[in-house]
Structure 1
Amino acid sequence: MKRDQQLALIERTRRHIDARSTEREPGCFRTPVGLYDDPAVLEAERASLFRRYPLAIATSDRIAAPGDWITHDRTGVPILLLRDADGQARAYLNACRHRGARLAGPPDGRPTGGSGARAFACPYHAWTYGLDGRLAALPHGHGFPDLETARCSLTALPVTERAGILFVTPSTDPAVDADAWLDPILTDLENWGLQGHVAHAPKTPHIAANWKFQMEGSMETYHFRHAHRQTIAGMFFDALSVFDRFGPHMRLFLPKKEIREIDPAEMQDPIRIAGNLLYVIFPNTIVLVQPDHAQLNIVWPIDPGRSVVEACMMVPEAPATEKARRHWERNSDIFWAAIREDYEMMESMQSTLRSGANADLVFAEFEHSVRWFHEAMAQAIGSTPAYLRTPERAGAA
């Protein structure tokens, strides 16, 4: 975010503070509980959102040098992500073009990685592929007289590398051009210089709740005063956020109480002191920009009632001293103390869905970013699903 944009956002937020208001859209928004536990809904989401759209897979430093590689299966598609000899990130379906065995990683799809690779040989029959995906060798090639080796390259997937994050579209039939789709939000995010950051303190928490509960919980501060009263509530204003849309993506500004005291004109990046910026990269990625680092959380569905997060801090450099390690550990502890409180509430909500207590879940006018999220999902899936309700005012039938 450029400096003039930061100053405008701070001023916009201060007006709300002075008026004791917040941004909102007219009318409550409702979603039926089946949206969070119906296998058919998740199947539709997987077929579209998690297959045909660009998804964050890892930070760039995971494959920092030529020959570095990782495997990834959270999308439901086996992906081999690597850095080629020219330093370009490439992604392929992790399947041999002979009989389909995995080229890298264990058969069960557990994530793994390595470095210094020059080629990948299938463990079944040793068909071998270069980092450029081309078939480089096959034993007893004379036995395949009709084989067009030029057509036996690994199946390539679209890759975009921006803001220190690697995005892969896990389909040969993408729904969008990844660069154009991501550009509006990533251009804003790149202004924070995350391109050179490295992953630190990775975590993969499993949550007994639908993946959308995690996304929705990041899109509002209405819950801070109560759910986070023991941790971060005192740092922020009650139910106050400022929202901006970038196509299907969003940026939320969560002002801290320091915003009333600082003089933005005297600061290089005042917005990072005035509050936290939370970027929602549709459909399942959250980047929280804090004063000296960022937190990356990528949310993946396991089944309708369970999800997993691939998370890490993005720090300017790997900590080389005990002082630096303690600094990042304190930051991590504060973040995860609050997130664990969120997870408890999400698991609590999931546990009551089938009780009959609620037919719908309701969102306030100032939780309108959740509405935006569901509207973007409906559009991406290709039709307006039954669960996308017409906005209703509080108290309506």
Structure 2
Amino acid sequence: MSRETLVAMTRNLVAHGAADTMEYADDVVRVPASAYTDPALFELEKKQIFRRLPLMVAPSCELPNPGDFKAMDICGVPLLLSRQKDGSMGAFLNMCTHRGNPLAAGCGNASRFTCGYHGWTFKADGDLIGVADAQDFGKIDKAKHCLTQFPVHENAGLIWVTLDPASKLDIADYLCGYDELLKAFEFEGWTLFAQRTLEGPNWKTAYDGYLDFYHLPVLHKDTFGADFYNRANYFAFGPHQRLSTPSRFAIKVSGEDDQQMDLSAMSDEELPQEVLVQGVWTIFPHISIASFYGGGQRGALISQLFPGADVGTSYTTQFYVMENQPETPEQVQAAHDQFNFLEIVVRDEDYATGKRQHEALQSGLMKEVLFGRNEKGGQVFHGWAERLVAASDEELVEIFAAEQRQAAE
């Protein structure tokens, strides 16, 4: 079924490309400028979106082996990911149950975690196994002082965690079947080539750019080129969206040669896997995935966006994952060249522009921003952000249960 859905999307793009058309939103949408600049709304978004909805916290290839761990802070919540002996993923509150001191920092490999404050020790599965000087501390039930666990879901080579241990929102429901489509990237078994973190503007200002092809030949005229496409059709799965340019043609990269393929002349069975995942895939509220080719093989840039310390800042971790680890010096350099090029595009063009835009909006002299009929992705994103911020925990569960029922009809 997943391939059938991907093929149907590709045929949609081919048909619109052949007709020189695109799919439009119903009307121009106006979004209050305060949606980007209001500090109170920003704090509410962190609470209602980032501390309540499932977040894609890591590609699986960042933690491939039993014992691999990663500690990170998301909107004030210390998270510890730990690959278990059986290959499953554990997600824990990174706080010792004695006084709350974080147990781990950065990334590494460990079978247990010992608190650097008083020496309490926990297994990688969160169980408390050692209380330092237990005869002096006093009697406690260790089974009642294990690490707090978060809901976790791993599929399609990606890891999701909900930063609310009491959440009743099923992560699979939240993904609306989108994770099954993401399997087409075939990330399982891929390798993490490189990663870095970039500072950006307000998180919604930054995320708008991932949902917008309209700006490509203008803002990126010196990197992508002034004749680059600026149209996109949007495919929505709940709040998650794929956008791709309508065209009957695709480029197949093989070695040193770029070969143009006429997709309209190919059968469904002949459509290559890389064609079925072309474009940009976004996972609400903070992930963008796009395919690239560098170092002699398929790669993808996974951009992971989080709000910063205040309304005007964000930070994005870019993961460059590859089908296989480059082997020759030439392949390694080509992969670095691709990754470095993408840093320039995002840091010096997208995010630099976003920071200037945000500073101007903070003047308060512009009351609304516009999203045109050709900018459906941004319209959908802001609609979902507003809806989910306002939803209660009970309404949140029902919203995505309804999405599941609608998809099944």
Quick check: TM above 0.5? Answer: yes
* Structure 2 unmatched ranges of 5 or more: 252-259, 393-409
Partners of 1:256 and 1:276 within 8 A in 2: no
Q: 2:273, 2:13 → 1: CA distance? A: 11
385, 388, 392: which one aligns with 1:377: 385
- State the 1:137 CA deviation: 1.4
Q: 1:6, 1:247 → 2: CA distance? A: 16
Partners of 1:79 and 1:94 within 8 A in 2: yes
Q: State the TM-score, normalized to the length of structure 1.
A: 0.87
| Amino acid aligned to 2:140 | L
Partner of 2:313: 306
Partner of 1:173: 166
| Amino acid aligned to 2:221 | R
Partner of 1:288: 290
Partner of 1:67: 67
SS in 2 for 1:317: coil
Partner of 2:396: none
Q: 1:294, 1:320 → 2: CA distance? A: 18
190, 193, 207: which one aligns with 2:186: 193
Partner of 1:366: 374
| Amino acid aligned to 2:189 | G
Partner of 1:229: 221
Q: Per-residue CA shift, 1:106-136, capped at 9, x if unaligned?
A: xxxxxx1211x22111122211111121111
Pair 1:156-2:149 in alignment: yes
- State the 1:145 CA deviation: 5.1
289, 293, 303: which one aligns with 1:297: 303
| Amino acid aligned to 1:246 | F
**Structure 1 residues 168 and 7: CA distance shift in structure 2, 3 A:** closer
Pair 1:242-2:243 in alignment: no
Partner of 2:126: 133
Partners of 2:232 and 2:244 within 8 A in 1: yes
Q: Per-residue CA shift, 1:143-164, capped at 9, x if unaligned?
A: 4555222111111111111222
Partner of 1:147: 140
Partner of 1:100: 100
Partner of 1:393: none
**Structure 1 residues 37 and 144: CA distance shift in structure 2, 3 A:** same
**Structure 1 residues 233 and 24: CA distance shift in structure 2, 3 A:** farther
**Structure 1 residues 7 and 57: CA distance shift in structure 2, 3 A:** closer
| Amino acid aligned to 2:98 | H
**Structure 1 residues 381 and 90: CA distance shift in structure 2, 3 A:** same
- State the 1:277 CA deviation: 2.2
Q: Per-residue CA shift, 1:226-280, capped at 9, x if unaligned?
A: 1111122456423x11111111111111357844952332785447358832111
| Amino acid aligned to 1:262 | M
**Structure 1 residues 279 and 188: CA distance shift in structure 2, 3 A:** same
Q: State the TM-score, normalized to the length of structure 2.
A: 0.85
- State the 1:74 CA deviation: 2.7
Partner of 2:57: 57
RMSD, matched Cα = 2.4
Q: What is the number of residues matched between the two proteins?
A: 375
Partner of 1:263: 262
Pair 1:206-2:199 in alignment: yes
| Amino acid aligned to 1:363 | F
- State the 1:14 CA deviation: 3.1
- State the 1:197 CA deviation: 1.3
- State the 1:217 CA deviation: 1.0
* Bigger shift: residues 253-262 or 94-103: 253-262
SS in 2 for 1:154: coil
SS in 1 for 2:163: coil
SS in 2 for 1:8: helix
Q: Per-residue CA shift, 1:77-132, capped at 9, x if unaligned?
A: 01111112222211111111111111112xxxxxx1211x2211112221111112
SS in 1 for 2:185: coil
